[in-house]
Structure 1
Amino acid sequence: MDFNLTEERRMLQDSLGRFLSDKYDHESRRKVIAAGKPYDAGLFAGLAELGVLGALFAEDQGGFGGLGFDLSVVFEELGRAGVIEPVLPAVLTGSLVAENADLVENIIAGEAVVTLAHSEAAARYDLNYVTTTSSNGVLNGAKVHVLNGAQASYLVVSAREGGDDWDKDGIALFLVRTDATGVTITDHVNNDGTSGATVVLDNVTPDARLTGGFAALELAVARGTLALSAEALGAMESAKALTLDYLKERKQFGIPIGKFQALQHRMADVLIEVEQARSAVINLAGHMEADRDTRERHVSATKNLMGRVGAQVVEEAVQMHGGIGMTDEYALSHFARRITMIDHWLGDVDHHLARFIDLSAGEA
């Protein structure tokens, strides 16, 4: 398997990196969050114009990518810059709404945000736990942790048409306008500055019942997990770079603290762990088109490892910085929050360890 990036992906990586370096920094992100805005609409439009959203979709969907390495290239750069704009929702829903060509075109152009409304309060990350119901043509239930729910034009809602709360075959997916009668959205700001929401559905008539059920949902979440893992990798790279610079600049006893052997050893451990995380992301990207069981084992193995490595990188980076490491004015604090939050999106360390064991035993 060739893990080298194609020329097109290298070009995308370089152009996205340059764009974010010129247009996006820690202070601009802080200003957006402090102003109570969910994200910078101008920057999001710029990302769409650059082709970032198109890279998340296959050619037959109107894009020019859509494979695992396309996702990892985009999200590593987004993570490196600490971007909070709503790119992840396009990954989570793009494959689910692919039959609606006009809507996909609007997503790629950055003119519509479509997000996934699946998680429920008691689900504990289990995808097949759905109590929202579809009966007599209407939806009833509540969804939590809906990323950019308050900014979305449409929701992809999972609902149960039959069976108990753990029956995968009873799950169906529906397209719902956020301004539809009976939809109530309560937004909030997550700890990392991203926008989340709780969505309540009260006798809501959906726009459409989408093709595909649990299997389509599982694939979409697998793609989202790859995107998050690549984003965490980019954030770890930035945290590592900030720490290296600090060790060179901060002095004690007249010499840079990076000269102290104990800190050198700790930094070496961080470098090794980040490279292990990179290998895991590359491995998952290369297995996104594999059969379901193989793909999902790699999904859980990667998400578990990213959570463990992320926690170590955050702890070491903050400790080596001292108190400044968690001040809002300093960029490291934002990368630390984002890395920590990513562990709790789409399943945390403990969930994916148990899931990997079950998948390996053929029980999931």
Structure 2
Amino acid sequence: MDFQYSEEQRLLADSAARFVRERYDFETRQRIAMGEAGFSAEHWAQMADQGWLALPFAEADGGLGAGPVEMMIVMEALGRGLVVEPYLPTVVLAGGVVAACGNADQRAALLPAIATGELKAAFAHAEAAARYSPAFTACEARPAEGGGYVLTGAKSVVLGAPLADRLVVLARTGRKPGTAQGLSLFLVDPAADGVVVRGYPTTDGQRAGDVLLDGVRVGADAMLGPRGQGLAVAERVLDAATAMLCAEALGAMDAAVAMTREHLRTRTQFGRPIGDFQVLQHRLVDMTIAAEEARSLTIRAALMLDADEAERRAAVSAAKVTVGDRGRFIAAQAVQLHGGMGVSDDMAVGHYFKRLYMVEQLFGDSAYHRDRWHALQ
């Protein structure tokens, strides 16, 4: 696929690459990831100053009105640096839901604050029994006496939940789990009575949490979009997040290939660099080809986010399967070619391994997306 950036996109790519290179080296990343907060307020503010938190939102909502290509550029740079700040949970997921179906007051209250870095948010959509499908949401939102709703249920592995100032919750206002109708979206304050967020670090250094909702009372104005029509919004936002996750994985793949190439160039065995051995050269070439295959389908998925539902879903699933498979291959090869030290916490390559394996699981693993792709053919 022949794909050239515009001048503005090249400048964005340069600034994002410079941010990672100059302000987010591996030692800095490790210090942030292992810290109590799990993110750096300083780096989050710098990302806001760069305009990255405002990229996808309309200018009327305090954003820059950028498209999926610009978002891809930023996500790829964040993947290259293994950045742990909650960009995907806040800007792409929760911010994407508010931008897609929030009314004027809701957008005005939340999106400018997200764009300036004042507010972090998370999208509580996944449940333990749902197996990646939001249609199987069981969390309930029942009408309350005097108006509003009462939310009861549990959400699993909510990305960015321990850091969030606001939660967007997918809950059932009608029908039974497994049906497409009857799902609605709500804004929930994580500090409200009945909300418990059990936060934890994930294997790859990110932060997530399980969210328990026990009779949480919200007003009628907390509903985002029309009642019972939340599934289509949730699926569209999750597809966008999946495409952006694939873009992040591209950055991680490129970094893993580059550090492996450097290791083969500098590591000596039998008096010569191990990169001189042809069998290892072949493995490095295979890694490079795998990264390019993933790149082509990720670009296509991003460009298809505004297509009709079937085309969008097929493109995103094809990209997710490819990125999951190629990412795991590259991660495994990178660790093997580094030898036993590749799995040491002191070496960056092992952390790219963890992130790429986690990417394969997020928003549906390869088996889930293969099934979804086949169902659309």
Shorter-chain TM-score range = over 0.9
- TM alignment of 1:226-245, pairs within 5 A: 226-245=243-262
How much identity, in percent, do the aligned residues show? 41
Q: What is the total number of aligned residue pairs between the two structures?
A: 360
- RMSD of the alignment, in Å? 1.3
Q: Between 106-115 and 203-212, report the one with greater CA deviation.
A: 203-212
Counterpart amino acid of 1:8? E
Q: Between 146-155 and 65-74, report the one with greater CA deviation.
A: 65-74
TM-superposition CA deviations, 1:113-153 (whole Å, max 9, x none): 11100100111111211000011211000001111111101
TM-superposition CA deviations, 1:18-62 (whole Å, max 9, x none): 122111111111112333331111111111111111113233432
In structure 1, the partner of 2:98 is 97
Check conservation: 1:172, 1:214, Cα contact below 8 A. Answer: yes
Aligned to 2:171, which of 156, 159, 174?
159
Aligned to 1:130, which of 137, 140, 145?
137
Q: Between 33-42 and 83-92, report the one with greater CA deviation.
A: 33-42
Q: Secondary structure at the match of 1:167?
A: coil
TM-score (normalised: structure 1): 0.96
TM-aligned CA distance change 1:159 to 1:27, over 3 Å: same
In structure 2, the partner of 1:291 is 308
Partner Cα distance (2:69, 2:131) in 1: 29
- Does residue 1:73 correspond to 2:73, yes or no? yes
In structure 2, the partner of 1:316 is 333
Gaps of 5+ in 2: 144-148
Check conservation: 2:167, 2:187, Cα contact below 8 A. Answer: yes
In structure 2, the partner of 1:7 is 7
TM-superposition CA deviations, 1:154-199 (whole Å, max 9, x none): 1110001111101111110000011111101100100001001000
In structure 2, the partner of 1:141 is 153
Partner Cα distance (2:65, 2:19) in 1: 19
Check conservation: 2:204, 2:358, Cα contact below 8 A. Answer: yes
TM-superposition CA deviations, 1:60-103 (whole Å, max 9, x none): 43222442212211100100111010000110122321232221
Shift in Å, 1:6: 2.1
Q: Secondary structure at the match of 2:364?
A: coil
Q: Secondary structure at the match of 1:143?
A: strand
Check conservation: 1:125, 1:347, Cα contact below 8 A. Answer: yes
TM-score (normalised: structure 2): 0.93
Partner Cα distance (2:58, 2:79) in 1: 22
- Does residue 1:255 correspond to 2:272, yes or no? yes
Aligned to 1:278, which of 286, 295, 314?
295
Check conservation: 1:145, 1:198, Cα contact below 8 A. Answer: yes
Aligned to 2:230, which of 173, 193, 213?
213
Check conservation: 2:196, 2:211, Cα contact below 8 A. Answer: yes
Q: Between 125-134 and 57-66, report the one with greater CA deviation.
A: 57-66
Shift in Å, 1:285: 1.4
Shift in Å, 1:359: 1.8
In structure 2, the partner of 1:267 is 284
In structure 1, the partner of 2:206 is 194
Partner Cα distance (2:61, 2:253) in 1: 32
In structure 2, the partner of 1:25 is 25
- Does residue 1:106 correspond to 2:113, yes or no? yes
Partner Cα distance (2:262, 2:120) in 1: 37
Partner Cα distance (1:270, 1:164) in 2: 45
In structure 1, the partner of 2:146 is none
Q: Which runs of 4+ in 1 moved over 6 A?
A: none
- Does residue 1:335 correspond to 2:335, yes or no? no
Check conservation: 2:244, 2:302, Cα contact below 8 A. Answer: no
Shift in Å, 1:319: 0.6
Check conservation: 1:118, 1:143, Cα contact below 8 A. Answer: yes
Check conservation: 1:325, 1:333, Cα contact below 8 A. Answer: yes
Q: Secondary structure at the match of 2:181?
A: helix
Q: Between 313-322 and 34-43, report the one with greater CA deviation.
A: 34-43
In structure 2, the partner of 1:203 is 215
In structure 1, the partner of 2:375 is 358
TM-aligned CA distance change 1:58 to 1:8, over 3 Å: farther
Counterpart amino acid of 2:37? K
Gaps of 5+ in 1: none
Partner Cα distance (1:230, 1:185) in 2: 29
TM-aligned CA distance change 1:2 to 1:215, over 3 Å: farther
